[in-house]
Structure 1
């Protein structure tokens, strides 16, 4: 159980790009990073408007002299300091991720980046090459994977509790964009603009989340062929607000994924169901402390976070005893804790012996979006992965 003791000897010296006032995700990044003494927020370029960014940085306790006008100045000035930053989180629109991540790696910094890592597989592979050569950690913020019942599901699959895996059914289908709210909401507008969001909306924005959950739970998850159909139902939208993806996996299993922003009445609608030859499991992100476990011929059961009957690996990151619900802030804190340990180990030349959404997860997400778009744009045809 996590009880607040130090994760690393000294907190990772850390900065943020973006995440200022009005950001949907800035606060969860900051609160999760500092929670276990893993990171110390010392600097940032929090806003496109330098004055507004500095004012915000001061309001959250950052030294005024370390609230910078832009990320290039941030990297240059911090490199001159003996106590300069060691890592940076990137919480900006998608179109900036590649250039910022590359610049950070070239400045010798570890990176935690919002997804997608970039728009093109070649760019993602280039970032992976730089990170490997520099011995740097890149974490990609697939925040839902930090929930502990994902680890329980991973262990159940690995130990054969489900038998041979046959089907994986994934979805992230909410209804928040069922009308053209981007015309009035700047925080949404950029997600519908291909110049800022990239070649996809819901496939990249929400579809990659359950995809990574499948990759984390099924350690041999490997796509061989893929078919995608995507469509925009709201008038004047360039990018899709709904998509269906079929996947044939190595070994014979099949997977489906529904990504949508027009599922009226659904708050989130993210779930993953894994069906084996003996049993099935199902996890919903709106009920993250439970994992449904259904064995053929037996009454259905629900496994609870923190319970003594779970596998030991699923209990390591408990933050409170069983029966008390944990949420997304806890999941993000778990991931930031893993990022910090990995960064600390990299400084010592040690290899990590645990999983987290790393640079390879980022590469896979970019490639998957690219292949989905290719299949859909060719008329929803099967393509080799």
Structure 2
């Protein structure tokens, strides 16, 4: 039996095995702050590959399981069984694995989308609340500390009244039918595995969630969406979509979700325009936030500096001038997930009541947004009330 460190969460993984980039990111982020300890896993649909991979990670062979059902059942019998699990598997499995984990009393960190339908998301939310469990969704870019700076600036009134929100995640890596030669991409454009959407759910929900973090007071009133399959073999799933939105305060937004923006590396940008000033964040330069006051020179705010709001400096790891990246951002989210889980168990420090992390509500809202976009697009790009 392993000896548990104080407040360290015994943790397992489903998926994320050998060759999985996202699995490596999960493990690097979760283990960085010593808040999680990986003790079990069901890493691969092939039991032998999964067992071998777990052993390579240093796990006890007996806790490198052939499938998630076996892992949940066997770990529940142990006094030192897992307390939380991360799900890093194709989209079509998320709902069933997450539901099973919650039914076994486990906290969950799930890749997005949390599931395929709002009804499924509501079921998971109700189950988590009934069991007193935390569900986190890995909108990993939200862990960059300049997102917290943007949130604080909006709340402090630095931008004035919010008028316009421009969101995009438009890369070019799938501008050709790369899935014909790449199995790891193929499932993303197959409705059986990806669900009812490709880029709306895969990339569009990332800047959408960031906007929800920065602008928690704005609620979508209605939207209009059009979507295209420029690589025809991907139909009915879209590889490009444009969504227009109206908020309840009269502000407007647009979201460009694309995998066919040829030449673009990532192209994820969030620009928020107020009556006094604007801010812009670009995930390829995540350590900077552009602050543009009308009539004054543009200011570039740098991560880790004393002039930032305290909320942004809470996530600082290595001081100003040293560039942080995706691993730090994910580690920030995993630290917040751990604080939420330990808070749930009465083990976290005081003062985490305002902890911001993508939880089950964020997962539900991502699914809700995709559903509304598809409803609008499939009706010919009509305005629809946001349901």
Say yes or no: TM over 0.5.
Answer: yes
Match of 1:279 in 2: 277
CA contact (8 A) 1:279 1:295 kept: yes
Q: Which residues of 2 match residues 1-385 of structure 1 at below 5 A?
A: 9-238=6-235, 239-348=237-346, 352-385=353-386
Q: For each residue in 1:269-324, what CA deviation from the matched residue of structure 2 results, as whole angstroms up to 9, or x when unmatched?
A: 00000000000000000000000000000001100001111111110111101001
Match of 1:3 in 2: none
2-structure distance, mates of 1:289, 1:99: 37
2-structure distance, mates of 1:152, 1:73: 43
2-structure distance, mates of 1:23, 1:377: 34
2-structure distance, mates of 1:199, 1:362: 16
Deviation at 1:338, TM superposition (A): 0.4
2-structure distance, mates of 1:183, 1:99: 28
CA contact (8 A) 2:91 2:115 kept: yes
CA contact (8 A) 2:145 2:313 kept: yes
Which segments of structure 1 move beyond 4 Å, counting only runs of 4 or more? none
- The runs of 5 or more residues in structure 2 that have no matched partner are none
CA contact (8 A) 2:25 2:327 kept: yes
Q: Greater CA deviation, 159-168 or 234-243?
A: 234-243
**How many residues matched?**
378
2-structure distance, mates of 1:353, 1:106: 27
TM-score (norm 2): 0.96
1-structure distance, mates of 2:59, 2:260: 40
SS at match of 1:167: strand
2-structure distance, mates of 1:220, 1:182: 40
Match of 1:4 in 2: none
CA contact (8 A) 2:223 2:376 kept: yes
Deviation at 1:349, TM superposition (A): 8.7
CA contact (8 A) 1:212 1:361 kept: yes
Q: Greater CA deviation, 81-90 or 347-356?
A: 347-356
Deviation at 1:9, TM superposition (A): 3.0
CA contact (8 A) 1:49 1:69 kept: yes
CA contact (8 A) 2:224 2:243 kept: yes
2-structure distance, mates of 1:54, 1:212: 35
TM-score (norm 1): 0.97
SS at match of 1:102: helix
1-structure distance, mates of 2:307, 2:291: 13
Deviation at 1:134, TM superposition (A): 0.7
1-structure distance, mates of 2:339, 2:159: 32
